[in-house]
Structure 1
């Protein structure tokens, strides 16, 4: 009996290492340095590659997840459809050069939209919300309009998932209707056999793809951080995540 238990344990650990090797191969085949963490909703199943708990990174536009909740909770915008008037300044990314809604600002990662509200929220209130949310290192910096882009705010891969769990479960200290509005604009993939609520991010060398995936019978949280060395690397934020889900046989 003891021999059988040891055999089962050995077989289980061997399969996990085999999966880790396959994930590593995905990153190396595409010459990408990165780390990914995937967890089941009950925390009983975890897959990870190259995770260092001591490492944390600029959240970039993944901060639009908590930032959207803060803007809504502060009553600065009423819903996902209210128009955010364009200031008329031409920017390098064409989709930003027009009126936005909260939904389009989130999906297009419209920096000027969120910076407009950041000035109204102010540093003091941001610190209050960051503490309430237990988000990252709870630091901002000198510029309230850029602290998530190149300021002092940092978050780890694991903490991204910890925060996403609270979003999915609607267990954050804000009105639940605001969390549901956020979820509406976070739904980015609505496939036949799965749905994904997610956000990408990019600042300097930090590239992110974070969110949660729901299949017919299970929910999975994910956070993928990769090093961006050239613009063509940006596509791998999502691509490597989806391929990892396929390697794990979570989606087909």
Structure 2
């Protein structure tokens, strides 16, 4: 533990996005991208320039769409059915279902989150984006702005917001933040529970994943995005994330 803290302090002292410290695992997959790790004070990254370049959040914004709805009382908890499928044409077969917050997040069910956004309304949505400093805070159509390249955010900003969620320090009720945290469970890597949400903007050809984990009683958050040509290549995103997290978790056990 002591060795890890010393190692981590040395790393973070020289970074804060001033240097590209982490290895570039993206080149192993013949693509470009960025991974940012944040501990509440400092950052580690493989590419400081891209870490500050904004892209569409795509489905990673569902985290905050859900949080706003919970905090406003539009939905009470993760079990309440709030979306009812009405036989409209949808992209995935799994979306042809009614949804509560738990199932909607697992399916990344766009129609359900479009419904939530309309219930939140443009005025409340704008207030909340401004309150938490979410990227460029730009809204176009209320039920598509996180998908149509209007709203943009960078990996560093994502990591900051996810750290605040991990530590329940966002300006929202403790209940809302705890519900959402638990719903974001992604997988377990080397005994460490990872909480995350994925996204993919096919127009911009950018895939992303953001989240957090705890190691040695310390919260760490991350933001990752990379260039992806099509859905067939999305496995790269998850494989690259796992390489970074295994690398960092191994560091934490030195």
Instruction: Indicate how the Cα distance of structure 1 residues 115 and 192 shifts in structure 2: closer, same or farther if over 3 A, else same.
Output: same
Q: Find the counterpart in structure 1 of residue 47 from structure 2.
A: 50
What does the per-residue CA deviation read over 1:125-173, in whole Å, with 9 as the maximum and x for residues that have no partner?
A: 11101111111111111x1100000141110110001111211121222
Structure 1 residue runs without a partner (length 5+): 1-8
| Residue 28 (structure 1) shift | 1.3
Q: Distance in 2 between matches of 1:93 and 1:251?
A: 39
What is the aligned length?
233
5+ residue gaps, structure 2: 1-9
Question: 2:233 matched to which residue of 1?
Answer: 233
The alpha-carbon deviation at position 226 of structure 1 amounts to: 0.6
CA RMSD of aligned residues (A): 2.3
Partner of 1:60: 58
Q: TM-score, normalised by structure 1?
A: 0.84
Q: Contact 2:163/2:221 (CA < 8 Å) preserved in 1?
A: yes
For 1:222, the equivalent position in structure 2 comes to: 222
* Secondary structure of the corresponding residue to residue 37 of structure 1: strand
Cα 1:246–1:134 change in 2 (3 A) is: same
Matching of residue 157 in structure 1 with residue 164 in structure 2:
no
Whether the aligned pair in 2 keeps the contact of 1:59 and 1:153 (CA below 8 Å) is yes
- Structure 2 counterparts to residues 74-89 of structure 1, below 5 A: 74-83=72-81, 84-89=83-88
1:168 maps to which residue?
A: 166
**Structure 1 residue 31, shift from structure 2 partner:** 1.0
Kept after mapping to 1: 8 A contact 2:21/2:46? no
User: Equivalent residue for 1:123?
Assistant: 122
1:34-53: CA deviation from partner (whole Å, max 9, x where unpaired): 111112x2535x42112325
Judge conservation of contact 1:58–1:154 (CA < 8 Å) in 2.
yes
Is the Cα contact below 8 Å between 1:88 and 1:98 reproduced in 2? Answer: no
**Under a length normalisation based on structure 2, what TM-score does the superposition of the two structures give?**
0.84
Q: Is the 8 A contact 1:193 1:216 kept in 2?
A: no
Q: What is the DSSP-based 3-state SS (H/G/I as helix, E as strand, rest coil) of the residue aligned with 1:100?
A: coil
Q: What whole-Å deviation, never above 9, does each CA across 1:180-212 have from its counterpart, x for those lacking one?
A: 110111122245620111100111212111101
Structure whose alpha-carbon radius of gyration is higher: 1
SS at match of 1:119: helix
Q: Is the 8 A contact 1:63 1:148 kept in 2?
A: yes
1:38 equivalenced with 2:37 (yes/no):
yes
Given that residues 140 and 151 in structure 1 are in contact (C-alpha distance below 8 angstroms), is that contact kept between their aligned partners in structure 2? no
- Following superposition, the deviation at residue 228 of structure 1 comes to 1.3
Superposition deviation, residue 56 in structure 1: 0.3
Secondary structure of the 2:196 match is: strand
Contact 1:213 1:219 in 2 (8 A): yes
